[in-house]
Chain A
């Protein structure tokens, strides 16, 4: 079945630093790919998605490109802010309507 491997954390950066969180996947075909974000004390929110190979998802300054050659969907942001401190999850459909999630990467941004 489909699976996702996500970069282990935690990640600590200074404000305005460049962020990359790695995500690679194993899948049959070309399913949609997702990044979710979980702010402290809240549920997960969809951050961005890509529905086909070579698509780039973007939102709130974050970007991720669906790369079928390297089976990757790395999350990037050029200049992080303190308010970006959260846990980030990579995800893809597992079976039917179910999603499988990565283990999550804790990001802390210091001022």
Chain B
């Protein structure tokens, strides 16, 4: 059981370039999430998905797009990267069973936009 994996681990982009971050989970979880973590800002939710084929906006969705074509994968896209998107990105998933909603996190992707 790999849990939640993220690809790539590190990336450097130039302003205006595009890229896609991949998140995969092998726990058959319904719900998946993308967060960004910045110093002094805690975790902020970018987008999330409550099932295959669904996506929804979180707190800070601007500049990002997502897709959930398969239940186990959740992709985060940056169409035109900006320096303000320099951050550490975390993917998480949860089964959503009962009232618990505990989330399982990936190891993170460190993105630098120059």
Contact = CB atoms under 8 A, between A and B. Distances in A.
A binds B: yes
Contacts of B30: 97
A104 B42 contact: yes
Interface string A93-111: 1001111011110000000
B100 interface: yes
A42 B104 CA distance: 12
Contact of A102 (B42, B50, B96): B42
A32 B101 contact: yes
Interface residues of B, number: 27
Contacts of A89: 42-43
A111 to B, nearest CB: 26
Contacts of A43: 4, 90, 92, 105-108
Interface residues of A, number: 21
Interface of A: 31-32, 34, 36, 42-46, 49, 51, 89, 93, 96-99, 101-104
Given A32-B102, A51-B100, 13 more contacts: A42-B108, A43-B4, A43-B92, A43-B107, A44-B92, A45-B105, A46-B103, A51-B98, A89-B42, A93-B101, A97-B31, A103-B41, A103-B42
